[in-house]
Amino acid sequence: MAVIAGVATTDYPHHPELTELGVHAIAADRALADAGISWDDVDGYASAGFFPMHAVQLCEYFGLNPSYLDETNTGGSSFEVLVEHAAHAIDRGHAEVVLITYGSVQLSQMGRRLGTGGSGPPPVGPAAADAVWGNTLVGNYAMAAARHQHDYGTTSEQLAEIAVTMRDHASVNPLAQYRDPITIDDVLSSRLVADPLHMLDCCVISDGGAACVVTSDERARDLRKPPAHILGAAHALTHHLNISQMPDINLTAAAQSGPLALKRAGISLTDVDVLQVYDSFTITVLLTLEDLGFCGKGEGGAFVEGGRLRWDGPLPTNTDGGGLSSCHPGMRGMFLIVEAVRQLRGEGTARQVADAEVALVHGTGGMLSTGATLILGSHAS
């Protein structure tokens, strides 16, 4: 069985002194050091970026000549998919040590205005269908939130509670971009970006990098840290980047990938001790909770009330502060994996979840387009 033997992040969220490739390099070197594996032992490499041959470029930059290479891009969920693929390669003996890295300097390069997604892609081909209306990235997620509120009576206060919990987790993460505690009223009185989503319903915009090292459990036995076993994985999609093509705006790919990953892991949701889910927006978390099956469709609003997602609550979620408060450098999926592994090792510091043995990681990519679920465990079964 394949395992994650090393994880690391850079000292996010500001890297004005670095290039994107340099951020990858720091994350890579730290993850290998965390595992106690040398660069010379890396025979597989994976990463996702916005331009073709991205992973090839990184190999050239690093001076790597691997026999396993993957640059599957499903947006923010890419890194969960890359770990799934790496596990297959290792289980088949096609690779022994797969390094997976992410890096971004989007805050330093482009600034905060990127946050609304500008005016979208060039209006040609299928993209033209959604690109000529002045919609923004936030607007897509806002329409999901609006429909959820319409169908199920979900309130903006309930969505805000998710942001409040993430900020509490970030408050003790020394690297987190925003650490001052916030209240539900703070979220509701922050400016509306796209109704019903307020500024504090939206993820932050950061620089940052993260990496992990996937290897075999056999290889991991004499390494520095206890491994996180990859118990199960699956991915799915509902549409590309036109949200007009999403059949049900409140039913995400998590409804397909979640149950499949759990089945492959041979566990049920009640076995999950800690959860790391993509929190591009508060509504993303709410829909993911429902679609993974932690509550019924439409019940997410009531489900998150009362601090259920707090690190010391019944379903500890995004214990590093998430993309909503800690770090969101564009494609956050790798950060979910890093935090899950740290929790399983007992390295969660001030937000360590007691007796965390099983972690569920779920990445979401595109415009609620793709979902990828990983089940990680501190034991092999």
Going 216 to 20 to 169 to 194, the CA torsion angle's sign is: negative
Q: Tell me the three state secondary structure of residue 229.
A: strand
* Listed residue (177, 128, 199, 187) closest to 15, CA to CA: 177
Strand partners, 58: none
Residue (67 or 189) nearer to another protein, CB: 189
Give the SS3 label for residue 225: coil
Q: Are 206 and 12 in contact (CB under 8 A)?
A: yes
* Angle of CA points 354, 320, 282, to nearest 5°: 110
Contacts to another protein from residues 86-125, by CB under 8 A: 113, 116, 118-119, 122-125
CB of 112 to another protein, least distance (A): 10
132 or 380, CB closer to another protein?
132
User: Going residue by residue from 142 to 161, which x/- string records binding to another protein, judged by CB under 8 A?
Assistant: xxx-xx--x-----------
Q: Of the ranges 16-24, 67-75, 130-138, 340-348, which one interacts with another protein (CB under 8 A)? A: 130-138
DSSP H or E run through 333: helix 333-345
Q: Which stretch binds another protein (CB under 8 A): 15-23, 54-62, 189-197, 366-374?
A: 189-197
The answer to whether residues 78 and 98 touch, using CB atoms and an 8 Å cutoff, is no
Distance CA 372, CA 137 (A): 20
Q: 48 and 57 in contact (C-beta within 8 Å)?
A: no
Q: Is 204 in the site for another protein (CB under 8 A)?
A: no
If binding is defined by CB under 8 A, does position 189 make contact with another protein?
A: no
Nearer to another protein, 44 or 196 (CB): 196
Please report how close the Cβ of residue 166 comes to another protein at its closest, in angstroms: 21
241 Cβ contact list (under 8 Å, min separation 6): 121, 127, 130, 366, 367, 369
- By CB under 8 A, is residue 132 in contact with another protein? yes
**CA distance to 33, 46, 106, 213, 331, per residue, from 95 (Å):** 19, 12, 32, 12, 25
Out of 138, 175, 211, 230, the only residue in the binding site for another protein (CB under 8 A) is 138
Q: How far is the CB of 111 from another protein (least distance, A)?
A: 10
- Residue from 84, 130, 161, 207 that binds another protein (CB under 8 A)? 130
- The full length of the chain comes to 381
**Binding flag, residue 131, another protein (CB under 8 A):** yes
Q: Please pick, from the candidates 16, 63, 93, 134, the single residue that binds another protein as defined by CB under 8 A.
A: 134
In this structure, what token pair is assigned to residue 14? 């500001």
* 146/184 with CB nearer another protein: 146
Which lies closer to another protein via its Cβ, residue 17 or residue 191? 191
**Among residues 306, 111, 102, 76, which one has the least CA distance to residue 211?**
102
Q: Please identify, using beta-carbon distances, which residue of 63 and 134 lies nearer to another protein.
A: 134
Residue 63 is a binding residue for another protein (CB under 8 A): no
Taking CB under 8 A as the criterion, which residues in 227-286 touch another protein?
A: 242-244, 249
State the Cα torsion 273-47-253-340 to the nearest 10°: 10
DSSP codes, 266-319: T--GGG--EEEE--SBHHHHHHHHHHHTSS-TT-HHHHHGGGTTSTTSSS-B-T
The span from the CA of 166 to the CA of 303, in Å, is: 16
Give the nearest distance from C-beta 357 to another protein in angstroms. Answer: 40
Kindly determine how many residues on this chain lie close enough to bind another protein according to the rule CB under 8 A.
37
Q: Which residues pair with 101 in a beta bridge?
A: 211
The piece of 25-33, 65-73, 78-86, 129-137 that touches another protein (CB under 8 A) is 129-137
For another protein, the closer of residues 182 and 193 by Cβ is 193
Among 40, 63, 180, 191, binds another protein (CB under 8 A): 191
One residue of 9, 135, 318, 369 binding another protein per CB under 8 A = 135
The binding site for another protein (CB under 8 A) comprises 113, 116, 118-119, 122-126, 128-136, 138-139, 142-144, 146-147, 150, 191-197, 242-244, 249
